[in-house]
């Protein structure tokens, strides 16, 4: 179906499915039948329910995944056959893309254009990328003396647990599921309670594509229950997580308390955006600065939420950013006339409002926005907000808001710009604008972040790794390097 308002409205009118568990290629209730209400951020009404699973439900899924792995039904399948299944899965996701996107937007509030392009379409592209890599990665022979054959093999680790967030559940879910499955592993997925419905549809399509029973499983429920059970389960060999630092720390503890499973964490950021007076196009830089923080309401791990502008252009540039921020039309995410939808849940709206109020109390200058919108709708909407004259110690500078709030200030020298860039505990992404290629290289080397974007805010693509330093995590999603997280290296030494 094409992305038209008529098609969107038709799909919106359908009753939302329940978020059941998917275990052994079957949609099933939680063992005790318990459910969690799903509240739509569009209007605050109940959209559906999720299975409120117990630790026993998660343990069952992990046991099924282990049995599937040990059987060799997927791990022992010829690489070309695994590739065909994954490619078929990507095709099915694309065929159902609008249906999936509308369901996702109803669940987490993402505007429909982004919910379409950035979720099912992105997930399908990611699955294809790793599918095509399945039969193109070779082992190695090391240089030894003539009477020895030394081999290096890449082997699947076994069972991979993946805990995914609510902002881009399909895109980020695919970053974890696709390389893990391509490497031959079984996967147990724990979706977010705030964005599970579209995820379950995508998982269901994997079975339709021919993925054998037990290879991909998904268990819904509260993180404190089933997330903990996944982290502690002795059958899980690797755990991949995107979310908050507090939960990331708990997962590391669970690993230590169980089987020392490898834990890979992407824990968000407070990404800096440095704009120098010699930026090649200030107007374009201002537009991309606004987009970098206000797309999807700032609910983006790499959102450039801290802006530092060379003092000689600060006033001019900030006016450009304010003007660009006013171009965002906030409202019903399923209305194509809107560019920005709702925040994902009531707690997130409250967090944004508190951050703005605290910044004002601490002396930040309000340049635009700052107010809740469409309160009578019952939904969770907030204006794009620009704050000026922030300082290092402010809460809005140091802590991730994960909302449409930009914190800006001026700088005078390169050294000061670098101090600003590196002043938080995070190190996920960064942006700098300058036509001086020497400066770009010089500063890129000094900024402590996993990604540096120069003269753009593109988000890159699946060919480029995304990983953090400092308290933004470890390991990388995306790129062929991501497959290394889900593989063991085996050395075989043969005396001839």
Confirm whether 266 is a catalytic residue: yes
- CA distances to 131, 275, 376, 434, 437 from 440, in Å: 35, 11, 47, 7, 5
- CA distances to 72, 148, 191, 352 from 151, in Å: 22, 10, 38, 54
The two tokens of residue 322 are: 């304010």
The two tokens of residue 400 are: 């991730």
Pick the catalytic residue: 266, 288, 310, 487? Answer: 266
Whose structure tokens read 């997130």? 348
Tell which residue, 270, 305, 269, has the closest CA to residue 472.
269
CA 387, CA 404: separation in Å to the nearest integer? Answer: 11
CA 380, CA 395: separation in Å to the nearest integer? Answer: 22
Q: What angle do CA 489, 485, 144 make, to 5 degrees?
A: 25
CA 20, CA 18: separation in Å to the nearest integer? Answer: 6
Whether the Cβ atoms of residue 446 and residue 272 lie closer than 8 Å to each other: no
Exposure string over 188-202, b if 16+ CB within 10 A, otherwise e: bbbbbbbbbbbbbbb
- CA distances to 10, 11, 98, 102, 125 from 4, in Å: 10, 11, 10, 11, 22
Beta partners for residue 141, in sequence order: 151
Pick the catalytic residue: 301, 310, 368, 400? Answer: 301
The DSSP call for residue 394 is S
Confirm whether 301 is a catalytic residue: yes
Whose structure tokens read 């502008």? 309
Whether the Cβ atoms of residue 19 and residue 220 lie closer than 8 Å to each other: yes
Write out the catalytic residue numbers: 266, 301
């Amino acid at each position: 179906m094409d992305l038209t308002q008529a098609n969107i409205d038709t799909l919106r009118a359908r009753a939302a499915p329940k978020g059941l568990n998917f275990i052994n290629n079957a949609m099933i209730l939680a063992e005790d039948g318990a459910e969690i209400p799903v509240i739509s951020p569009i209007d605050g009404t109940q959209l559906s329910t999720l299975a409120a699973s117990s630790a026993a439900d998660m343990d069952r899924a992990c046991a099924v995944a282990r049995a599937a792995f040990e059987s060799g039904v997927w791990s022992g399948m010829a690489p070309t056959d695994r590739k065909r299944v994954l490619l078929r899965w990507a095709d099915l996701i694309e065929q159902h893309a609008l249906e999936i996107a509308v369901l996702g937007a109803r669940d987490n509030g993402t505007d429909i254009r982004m919910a379409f392009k950035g979720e099912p379409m992105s997930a399908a592209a990611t699955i294809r990328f790793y599918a095509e890599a399945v039969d193109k990665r070779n082992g190695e022979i090391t240089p030894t003396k003539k009477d020895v054959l030394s081999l290096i093999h890449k082997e699947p680790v076994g069972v991979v647990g993946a805990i995914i967030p609510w902002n881009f559940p399909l895109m980020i879910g695919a970053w974890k599921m696709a390389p893990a499955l391509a490497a031959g592993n079984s996967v147990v997925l724990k979706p977010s309670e705030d964005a599970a419905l579209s995820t379950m549809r995508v998982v269901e399509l994997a079975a339709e594509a021919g993925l054998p029973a037990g290879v991909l499983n998904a268990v819904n429920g509260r993180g404190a229950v089933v997330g903990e059970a996944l982290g502690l389960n002795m059958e899980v060999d690797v755990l991949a997580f995107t979310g908050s630092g507090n939960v990331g720390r708990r997962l590391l503890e669970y690993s230590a308390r169980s089987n020392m499973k490898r834990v890979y964490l992407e824990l968000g950021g407070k990404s800096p955006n440095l704009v120098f007076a010699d930026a090649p196009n200030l107007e374009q830089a201002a537009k991309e600065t606004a987009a970098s923080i206000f797309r999807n309401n700032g609910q983006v791990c790499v959102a450039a939420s801290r802006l530092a502008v060379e003092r000689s252009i600060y006033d001019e540039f900030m006016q450009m950013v304010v003007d660009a921020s006013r171009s965002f039309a906030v409202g019903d995410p399923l209305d194509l006339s809107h560019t920005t939808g709702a925040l994902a849940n009531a707690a997130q709206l409250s967090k944004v409002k508190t951050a703005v109020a605290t910044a004002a109390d601490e002396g930040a200058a309000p340049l635009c926005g700052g107010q809740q919108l469409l309160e009578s709708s019952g939904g969770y909407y907030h204006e794009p907000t620009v704050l000026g004259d922030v300082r290092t110690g402010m809460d809005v500078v140091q802590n991730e808001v994960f909302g449409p709030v930009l914190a800006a200030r001026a700088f005078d020298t390169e050294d000061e710009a670098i101090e600003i860039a590196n002043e938080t505990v995070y190190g996920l992404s960064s942006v700098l604008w300058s036509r001086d290629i020497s400066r770009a290289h010089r500063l890129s080397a000094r900024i402590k972040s996993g990604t540096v974007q120069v003269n753009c805010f593109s988000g890159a693509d699946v060919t480029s790794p995304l990983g953090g330093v400092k308290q933004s995590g470890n390991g990388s999603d995306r790129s062929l390097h991501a497959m290394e997280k889900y593989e063991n290296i085996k050395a075989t030494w043969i005396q001839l």
